[in-house]
Amino acid sequence: MNALKNIGRKIKGYFVDVYKELRKVVWPTRLQLINNTISVLVVSFFIGAVVWASDAVFVQLVKLFVHS
């Protein structure tokens, strides 16, 4: 029974610590959130385009070497 109480205290302590840490978080404003979301989408699109273009080039190179 004592071990069960000890586990309960540890679990409660964990959630108390999580709550305390979440109170310290500086949450972004709506404008910051929108700007960051747009930035992530633009960068993701750009990286996707670079990967797609690289893949297309490598496919053509492989076709060139395989069919030669």
Would you say residue 1 has pLDDT above 80? no
Q: Tell me the C-alpha distance between 43 and 52, whole Å.
A: 14
Torsion of CA 24, 30, 35, 38, to 10 degrees: 110
Q: How many helices (H) and strands (E) does the chain have?
A: 2, 0
Integer Cα distance of 18 and 5 in angstroms: 20
Q: Does pTM surpass 0.95?
A: no
Q: What is the pLDDT of residues 16-35, one digit of tens each?
A: 999 999 999 999 999 999 99
Distances, alpha carbon 12 to alpha carbons 2, 19, 24, 25, 38, in Å: 15, 11, 19, 21, 39
